[in-house]
Structure 1
Amino acid sequence: MKELDKTASDRILDFAAAGMWWQITKDTKETNGAFFEAINVLVPGFEGPPQHIHPQAEESYQVLEGTLDVWIDGQWRMVKPGETATVPAGVPHTLKNSHAQEVRLINIHKPALGFERFFRRMHTLIASGKLTLPPKNFGSLIRISMLFVEHEKEIKSTNPPHGLMRFLAFVGSTLGYKLPD
């Protein structure tokens, strides 16, 4: 895997256990909230996030290296270097790398909303060992549900259903689980 620029460590989100690394290239403040941009690196076999929607934002993927598999509204598509896939707000989607080569892409969420905070919080949970992706224990399932529910303006799971995540988030808060600020 090619190295990311580590000179600005606060811009690196290392989700290594899940098979991806990010380098924030344009943060929310730099774009005045217009968008949030990061270079994503996905290892071969990366299974991707659950199917989800962004109720109020568009997401795009511009592939720099490798081949990205993107599922948009029920259809899988391969996106190759130089190609882009855009997911309109409210459309179910996910992605994966089912190929032998890593994928390097530019990922943009537009507008930025609270995406940067969502991803930084997820990074903190993973780095502290309180969250595995995919969730492999009860605590991880509760925490990812709480994170999705607290950021439902940005992201809602469609599979598993968002209602189930809301229920699990309620259970987590009742049991005293907390998320990082």
Structure 2
Amino acid sequence: MKSGIEIIEKDKGQILGVAGGNYRIIVPGDKTDNKYAVIEMIVPPGGGPPPHSHPDTHETFYVLEGEVEFQTEQGKSIVSAGGFITIPLGGAIHCFTNTSSTVAKLLCTVMPAGLEKVFELVGVPVGSGEFAPIPELTDERRELMAQIDKQFGQKTYPKGYLD
């Protein structure tokens, strides 16, 4: 009888340059019947996604190292190593930025899976320790984001939307 237990080593998983950081898809949804996905996020100073919402996804973040400024419609909070953020179903607008001078590392879980597919579409493959620049927001990039938002039932807002 198979137990289904899988050990995933620290150098395994697809690494993508997303929003100025490296996102390693540790457990993709296709391994969990799309019940959940787990993504490690290594975010350099200045990195982080623009404000966004995804009403049909429950998302959690555990800050493993460093700190990030987490922002919602209710305001801003600095979340340091050991801090946990949960964004329930419903579509709350949120974003985070590494405002410190050191790299931050977060562990993100999304339920159901699917957000990792967004990262695969917007990200670029990178090697461990390589950081791709944040893509310029050209008309072509805006159109791509609008298509992805529609396909995945989410919405991306302009940087500064929550200020």
Q: Which band: TM-score by shorter chain? A: 0.7 to 0.9
Name 1:12's counterpart in structure 2: 15
Name 2:156's counterpart in structure 1: 157
Give the number of the structure whose residues are more often helix, by fraction: 1
Give the number of the structure whose residues are more often strand, by fraction: 2
Aligned-CA RMSD value: 2.2
Name 1:104's counterpart in structure 2: 105
- Shift in Å, 1:37: 0.7
Name 2:128's counterpart in structure 1: none
Deviation digits for residues 10-57 of structure 1 (CA, Å, limit 9, x no counterpart): 521133xx42001112110222222111110000111x3222211111
AA in 2 matched with 1:78: I
Contact 1:5/1:23, CA 8 A, preserved across alignment: no
Percentage of pairs with the same residue: 24
In the superposition, the TM-score normalised over structure 1's length comes to 0.70
Instruction: Report SS of the residue matched to 2:31.
Output: coil
Name 2:5's counterpart in structure 1: none
Name 1:120's counterpart in structure 2: 120
Instruction: Report SS of the residue matched to 1:141.
Output: helix
CA distance in 2, matches of 1:62, 1:110: 15
- Shift in Å, 1:133: 4.0
Contact 2:53/2:156, CA 8 A, preserved across alignment: yes
Stretches (4+) displaced over 4 A:
none
- Shift in Å, 1:107: 0.8
In the superposition, the TM-score normalised over structure 2's length comes to 0.77
Instruction: Report SS of the residue matched to 1:143.
Output: helix
Instruction: Report SS of the residue matched to 1:108.
Output: strand
Structure 2 regions of 5+ residues with no counterpart? 1-8, 126-132
- Shift in Å, 1:73: 2.9
CA distance in 2, matches of 1:14, 1:136: 15
Name 1:49's counterpart in structure 2: 49
Q: Which has the higher contact order (CA 8 A, sep 6+)?
A: 2
Contact 2:21/2:43, CA 8 A, preserved across alignment: yes
Contact 1:135/1:141, CA 8 A, preserved across alignment: no
CA distance in 2, matches of 1:79, 1:69: 6
Instruction: Report SS of the residue matched to 1:29.
Output: helix
1:31 aligns with 2:32: yes
- Shift in Å, 1:158: 4.5
AA in 1 matched with 2:57: A
CA distance in 2, matches of 1:84, 1:143: 31
Instruction: Number of aligned residue pairs: give it.
Output: 143
CA distance in 2, matches of 1:11, 1:85: 24
CA distance in 2, matches of 1:26, 1:92: 25
Deviation digits for residues 38-95 of structure 1 (CA, Å, limit 9, x no counterpart): 110000111x322221111111110010001111233211111111011112211111
Structure 1 regions of 5+ residues with no counterpart? 161-181
Instruction: Report SS of the residue matched to 1:21.
Output: strand
